[in-house]
Amino acid sequence: MPSSYNRRRFITNVSKTAAVISLSGTGVSSLFAGEMQTNNKRRYFSTGFEQTPLPYAYADLEPVIDTMTMDIHYNRHAAAYALNLRDAAKAEGVNMKEPLEKVLGVVSKYSTKLRNNGGGHYNHELFWHSMCKGGAELKDGSFRNQLIKQFGSTEAFQSQFSDAAKNRFGSGWAWLYADKDKQLRIGSTPNQDNPLMDISDIKGTPLLGLDVWEHAYYLKYQNKRADYIAGWWKVVNWKSVEERYLGV
Ligand code: MN3
């Protein structure tokens, strides 16, 4: 399958991954490649306008997400969103030193190109960092307690989230997000919209997102979106979701 070009890309990616991993244990969060900031005990997540390296190798989420899907998804689909986002941002005078989150909060002021590609870039950066090899369990703590308090049980939460993902007609995303009162919410958005956007029906801070565009699963699952969703829970990185919740 991989051309020599893709093999080179893969090797480059693995070495970048090793660089990210080497940061662990230093106290630097690798959630968004170390871009989490601490400010008066409140932590903000800051996404830039460039792709960060995948925090694992393409094959690491097998068999849930196959290697070829991971490669094409990251190197072609997500790379195109990032490229087109920078293109739109440049044309529309956006300060690319500011966090992307700020731009998405006022995205109605900008073009459809910026909305689609800004959402596309943000959503995928969040998505890659919401998964890890073998998954990471949801540990006891305030986040797990809140989840159980609001949804009844972790199983009930997963069932409701899975329904939101299954029922999103066409392309889009399912979300767990925190609203302005730090209450947990489940919802979905069409296309590359997300709860950060001022034009979105659901609003808040995304904690966990699931890509249900066909490009995310079609090579392996074809029309069986439900099977993709059921398998996906095995690779969810709950540690990163909890950290994001604690930072809201
Ligand atoms: Mn995608």
Q: Can you read off the two tokens belonging to residue 115?
A: 């909305």
CA 48 to CA 86: how far, in whole Å?
Answer: 10
pLDDT tens, position by position, 216-243: 999 999 999 999 999 999 999 999 999 9
Going from the Cα of 211 to the center of ligand 1, the distance in angstroms, rounded, reads 6
| Mean pLDDT score, 192-212 | 98
Chain segment 126-178, per-residue pLDDT in tens = 999 999 999 999 999 999 999 999 999 999 999 999 999 999 999 999 999 99
Neighbours of ion ligand 1 (CB under 5 A): 211, 213, 216
CB 94 within 8 A of CB 110: yes
Does some domain include residue 3? no
Determine the structural domain holding residue 173 and report its residue range.
65-248
Is residue 205 classed exposed, middle or buried when 0-12, 13-18 and 19+ CB atoms within 10 A define those classes? buried
User: What's the gap in Å between 171 CA and the centre of ligand 1?
Assistant: 9
Q: In what order do the strands lie in the sheet with 172-178?
A: 184-190, 172-178, 205-211
Q: Is 35 part of any domain?
A: no
Contacts of 93 (CB under 8 A, 6+ apart): none
Which domain CATH number covers 193? Answer: 3.55.40.20
Could you tell me the CA-to-CA distances from 147 to 35, 57, 142, 150, 239 in Å, in that order? 26, 30, 9, 5, 14
> Does residue 87 form part of some domain?
yes
**Structural domain includes residue 210:** yes
Is there a contact between 122 and 200 (Cβ–Cβ < 8 Å)? no
Interhelix angle 154-167/142-151, rounded to 10 degrees, is 70
Q: Is residue 121 part of a domain?
A: yes
Cα distances (Å, whole numbers) of residue 162 to 165, 174, 225, 244: 5, 8, 10, 20
Residue 1 in domain: no
Q: What pLDDT is stored for residue 45 in this prediction?
A: 72
Mean per-residue pLDDT over the chain, rounded: 87
Distance 26 CA to ligand 1 centre (A): 31
Which pTM value belongs to this model? 0.84
Domains: count for the chain: 1
Is 111 inside any structural domain? yes
Residue closest to 161 by CA, chosen among 147, 171, 149 = 147
Whether 184 is in a domain gets the answer yes
Q: Compute the Cα dihedral for 176, 71, 52, 48 and give only its sign.
A: negative
C-alpha of residue 100 to centroid of ligand 1, in Å: 18
Q: What is the mean pLDDT of residues 71-90?
A: 98
C-alpha torsion sign, points 20, 25, 31, 36 = negative
Q: From ligand 1's centre to the CA of 73, what distance in Å?
A: 6
